[in-house]
Structure 1
Amino acid sequence: MEIKTLHKLEKQAYKKSHAEIARIGFALFFLAAILAYSFATSGGVPNNLFLAIAAVFGGYMAMNIGANDVANNVGPAVGSKALTMGGAIMIAMIFEAAGAFIAGGEVVSTIKGGIIDIKQFGNDTDSFIWAMMAALLAAALWLNLATVAGAPVSTTHSIVGGVMGAGMAAAGFGIVDWGTMGAIVSSWIISPLMGGIIAALFLLAIKKTIIFREDKIKASYRWVPIYVSVMAWAFVTYLILKGLGQVWAQWIELLNSLPLVSLEAQGKPAFLTASLIGLIFGGFVFALVKKTLKRNMSSMKNDRHSVNGQFTIPLIFAAALLSFAHGANDVANAIGPLAAINDAIMTGGITDKAGIPIWVMAVGAFGIAIGLGLYGPRLIRTVGGEITELDQMRAYSIAMAAALTVIIASQLGLPVSTTHIAIGGVFGVGFLREWLDESNKIERQIDREKAEIKDDKKMLNALRNELKKLEKKPAKTVEEYQRITELFRLIDEEKAALKKAKKLLKKDKKNLFVKRDMVKKIVTAWVVTVPAAATLSACIFFMIKGIML
């Protein structure tokens, strides 16, 4: 029997190693294709070797964005079983790539968030190129490490840390805009807090208006269309503001070419415009959901499962729209520095805005999709189920938090991270579950068991010390021999009691709705992302400089 079990384990390990080799091989093939294409199309350009290597770094960064960051968009939908893992990856790959290509923009900021003042490079184009290469590689390496560790981190903060570290290595501390850095640090608190509060409030509202009602079918008919239409409004508004901002001017121009249409030209959509369009879509969705529910009410059961089912299709749309907006925005984390390097090599100058050749956009778009397909499932599982258990209502609340927090923050000028918002939303629904289920009782029980363990350890040490003293005495009385025997018995009993207390503690910790170890790991990864990427980037910059000089 044991030999059969070992044989099965061996076969599973063999399959797993083959799958891992295949993934690595495909990733290397993609990077090799980028290298070959870059060389083939820039043969007569000076420093084309730097451009080719930078393109590989950009592709590597894009793959790591796909492997780590995209999990926040589809993880809750997968965790709630609204989408299968395969379906989520397929949807995310298509919409991430579409967002990058359609709305990634013709021009991107070469320095994410204006974190450094590129004027301090002067005419030293070589140092600027080396700094951008170091930033790309450092950010990608840090994201790779975080993905292996199962920690979802901000790709924006990773590239910001990389640019900051390389900039300081190249031109000193004065190159960094410390005000911007302060805003980034504040986003570590603002993003998860806002995301958690909004997600918890939406989940609480659903529970109060539907789940806690005796007639859940009637409550669903009244409230589900409202919640889904609010979601439609939020996501259309979010998509226009964050996903289509780069191509808004072209859309206005296209509409103005139609007869009887005259719209004011805008560089980017205003909140009011986006909100009104979202409101129109929301009204349409309200009517559609109301009609669908009326038709399906006879087949609905008066239970939680039926209520959950009403949020499945909205969650699929949410995953697709979040992926589109993410591809449009975060592709710049990979191709921004690459576009800067390409522009510096082609023109011999340094600029804070750079045009994007189609091949650079393709590196970012396909890199994100490939990274997601190859290595995305690990983080999707973490976000979807390893922090807290999710169902469709909880996943809906998290998706709403992601969209609404970005909308509110953009209007208030608050710095936020979409990664931190999504994870904060997961924390929020988990902690709300604990509060509603009176898990504070479990917390108090855990504290009592910790105190018991501490007391048992003290007693065990005291008994051992007494035993040592008696055993050291050269001559012993009958009473002392009896006491030694009793001490051995008491020590065995204390060991058993300590073992039992530790087992109970471990069991009670599992009853908590939010895994505390995961919270600690993720928050630690957030805090160290910028300094870790910055340190790594500075080291890589000095290494490149040492090789070249």
Structure 2
Amino acid sequence: MDSLLLVSVILGLYFAFNIAANDIGNSVGTAVGSGALSMRRALFLGAFFAFLGALFFGGNVIRTIGEGIIPSDSFSVIAGFAVILTAALWITVTLLRGIPISGSDAMVSAVIGVGLVSVGWSKLNFNTVIYIILSWILSPMIGFFSGFLTYSVIKVGVIRRVKRISVRDRLEKLFAYLQMLSSSFSAFNVGALDFGVAMGVIFTLSGGSSSFLKIVGALGLVMGIIFVGDRVTETIGRRITELVPTRGFSAQVAASIVSFVFISYGMPISPTQTLVGSVIGVGLARGTSTLKFDVIKDIGYTWILTIPACLILGVVTYSVLRVLSGLL
């Protein structure tokens, strides 16, 4: 079992690598899409603040993932391995397609699926599951309305009052600097959330907190952001709607505040869904003609598919592992 735990840790780092690559688009995608930052600078900025978020703010989500659904005393090494393997496989497939899914959805669904066959229906904490599902529904909706409202206020209160083109250009440059701040705040949130999602099961299996696991897990997030974070960043920043700094800042700051509140309560929401909702809200505030509904539809299908796919895959993975462990 010790060897299986070691493999689980390696898989956890692999998942951290992938989920950070998937979610960094939430932090820096709008800054890249609006031209405030180049892709390379945006990824390094995101990696730095995600590392800080993982180290200093990841504890709440760790407890929810590691203990909130399946009781910690019932979480076997085989169950933990099955959860991490399921989520890692799913996020790899979607990352290769450049689709910004929710790693949180994948991990929580895998935990529920594995829990159903490992400890049984009666031992799962469905109060926590209900709260998580509500957060999944509410966060993109709140992100949508927040993005719409934020950009509408900026548009009416600032942009429409500026008539001269030269002054408007300077205004966009000012918001480009503000967007760097909002992107940093968002990256901090992503680090805190993704670290908890990726390492929550590992921390439970290892018997508690570990400074070594914290640093290694945070570095796994950083590597994912730097080496493959450009795939989903491109989708978030350029493929949903056209962004300039005022619109990018509106979407980013609205989604960041929503994410921070949910993470403070330990809810493993999807920052991807929250920001996509906010970007759509900003696009709608400009007019529906600016939105690319084919891209939004593809993202929506993948979100919907993630939950049942990871739940079923978790059941199958755990069942196969149990059979194999009996043969070995």
TM-superposed CA distance for 1:376, in Å, is 0.9
- The correspondence for 1:515, drawn from 292, 309, 314, is 292
Aligned residue number for residue 246 of structure 2: 393
Answer yes or no: is 1:302 the counterpart of 2:167: yes
Q: Report the Cα distance in structure 1 between the residues aligned to 2:67 and 2:143, rounded to whole angstroms.
A: 21
Q: Report the Cα distance in structure 2 between the residues aligned to 1:50 and 1:392, rounded to whole angstroms.
A: 48
SS of 1:151's equivalent in the other structure is coil
Q: Which amino acid aligns with 2:118?
A: A
Answer yes or no: is 1:95 the counterpart of 2:49: yes
- Cα distance per residue 1:345-372 (max 9 Å; x no partner): xxxxxxxxx22x2221233111111111
- Cα distance per residue 1:31-50 (max 9 Å; x no partner): xxxxxxxxxxxxxxxx3211
**1:431–1:181 distance in 2 versus 1, CA, 3 Å:** same
SS of 1:70's equivalent in the other structure is helix
Q: Which amino acid aligns with 1:517?
A: D
Q: Report the Cα distance in structure 2 between the residues aligned to 1:176 and 1:372, rounded to whole angstroms.
A: 33
Q: Which amino acid aligns with 1:518?
A: V
- The correspondence for 1:137, drawn from 81, 85, 97, is 85
In the alignment, is the contact (CA less than 8 A) between 1:110 and 1:340 conserved in 2?
no
TM-superposed CA distance for 1:414, in Å, is 8.9
Q: Which amino acid aligns with 2:237?
A: G
Aligned residue number for residue 478 of structure 1: none
In the alignment, is the contact (CA less than 8 A) between 1:150 and 1:379 conserved in 2?
yes
Aligned residue number for residue 94 of structure 2: 146
Answer yes or no: is 1:182 the counterpart of 2:130: yes
Aligned residue number for residue 282 of structure 2: 429
Q: Report the Cα distance in structure 1 between the residues aligned to 2:268 and 2:87, rounded to whole angstroms.
A: 20
TM-superposed CA distance for 1:214, in Å, is 5.1
Q: Report the Cα distance in structure 2 between the residues aligned to 1:385 and 1:71, rounded to whole angstroms.
A: 11
TM-superposed CA distance for 1:338, in Å, is 1.1
**Matched residue count:** 326
Answer yes or no: is 1:333 the counterpart of 2:197: yes
Q: Report the Cα distance in structure 2 between the residues aligned to 1:329 and 1:421, rounded to whole angstroms.
A: 13
Answer yes or no: is 1:548 the counterpart of 2:325: yes
TM-superposed CA distance for 1:409, in Å, is 5.7
In the alignment, is the contact (CA less than 8 A) between 1:113 and 1:180 conserved in 2?
no
Q: Report the Cα distance in structure 2 between the residues aligned to 1:368 and 1:415, rounded to whole angstroms.
A: 16
In the alignment, is the contact (CA less than 8 A) between 1:110 and 1:337 conserved in 2?
no
Aligned residue number for residue 59 of structure 1: 13
Under a length normalisation based on structure 1, what TM-score does the superposition of the two structures give?
A: 0.55
Aligned residue number for residue 109 of structure 2: 161
Q: Which amino acid aligns with 1:302?
A: V
TM-superposed CA distance for 1:411, in Å, is 9.2
SS of 2:161's equivalent in the other structure is coil
Aligned residue number for residue 534 of structure 1: 311
Q: Report the Cα distance in structure 2 between the residues aligned to 1:63 and 1:524, rounded to whole angstroms.
A: 24
Aligned residue number for residue 194 of structure 1: 142
TM-superposed CA distance for 1:427, in Å, is 0.9
Q: Report the Cα distance in structure 1 between the residues aligned to 2:267 and 2:19, rounded to whole angstroms.
A: 23
Q: Report the Cα distance in structure 1 between the residues aligned to 2:275 and 2:200, rounded to whole angstroms.
A: 24
**1:111–1:102 distance in 2 versus 1, CA, 3 Å:** closer
Q: Report the Cα distance in structure 2 between the residues aligned to 1:155 and 1:169, rounded to whole angstroms.
A: 22
How large is the RMSD of aligned CA atoms in angstroms? 2.6
In the alignment, is the contact (CA less than 8 A) between 1:97 and 1:369 conserved in 2?
yes
Which of the two has higher C-alpha Rg?
A: 1
Q: Report the Cα distance in structure 2 between the residues aligned to 1:410 and 1:335, rounded to whole angstroms.
A: 15
Q: Which amino acid aligns with 1:535?
A: I
In the alignment, is the contact (CA less than 8 A) between 1:115 and 1:177 conserved in 2?
yes
Q: Report the Cα distance in structure 2 between the residues aligned to 1:181 and 1:373, rounded to whole angstroms.
A: 33
**1:204–1:93 distance in 2 versus 1, CA, 3 Å:** same
Moved more, 146-155 or 62-71: 146-155
Kindly report which structure 2 residues correspond to 1:453-468, keeping only aligned pairs within 5 A, or say none.
none
In the alignment, is the contact (CA less than 8 A) between 1:58 and 1:363 conserved in 2?
no
In the alignment, is the contact (CA less than 8 A) between 2:145 and 2:278 conserved in 1?
yes
Aligned residue number for residue 77 of structure 1: 31
Kindly report which structure 2 residues correspond to 1:30-429, keeping only aligned pairs within 5 A, or say none.
47-105=1-59, 108-109=62-63, 111-112=65-66, 114-118=68-72, 121=74, 128-213=76-161, 215=163, 301-303=166-168, 305-343=169-207, 354-355=208-209, 357-406=210-259, 416-429=269-282
- Cα distance per residue 1:381-432 (max 9 Å; x no partner): 0000111111101111111211332466689999853222111011111122
- Cα distance per residue 1:233-264 (max 9 Å; x no partner): xxxxxxxxxxxxxxxxxxxxxxxxxxxxxxxx
Where structure 2 has 5 or more consecutive residues not aligned to the other structure, the ranges are: none
**Structure with bigger RCO (C-alpha 8 Å, 6+ apart):** 2
In the alignment, is the contact (CA less than 8 A) between 2:72 and 2:204 conserved in 1?
no
Under a length normalisation based on structure 2, what TM-score does the superposition of the two structures give?
A: 0.90
**1:94–1:206 distance in 2 versus 1, CA, 3 Å:** same
Q: Report the Cα distance in structure 1 between the residues aligned to 2:30 and 2:242, rounded to whole angstroms.
A: 10
TM-superposed CA distance for 1:213, in Å, is 2.2
SS of 1:65's equivalent in the other structure is helix
Q: Which amino acid aligns with 1:183?
A: Y
In the alignment, is the contact (CA less than 8 A) between 1:110 and 1:339 conserved in 2?
no
In the alignment, is the contact (CA less than 8 A) between 2:61 and 2:196 conserved in 1?
no
In the alignment, is the contact (CA less than 8 A) between 2:21 and 2:232 conserved in 1?
yes
TM-superposed CA distance for 1:107, in Å, is 10
Percent identity over the alignment is 31
Kindly report which structure 2 residues correspond to 1:496-515, keeping only aligned pairs within 5 A, or say none.
512-515=289-292
TM-superposed CA distance for 1:70, in Å, is 1.5
In the alignment, is the contact (CA less than 8 A) between 1:188 and 1:526 conserved in 2?
no
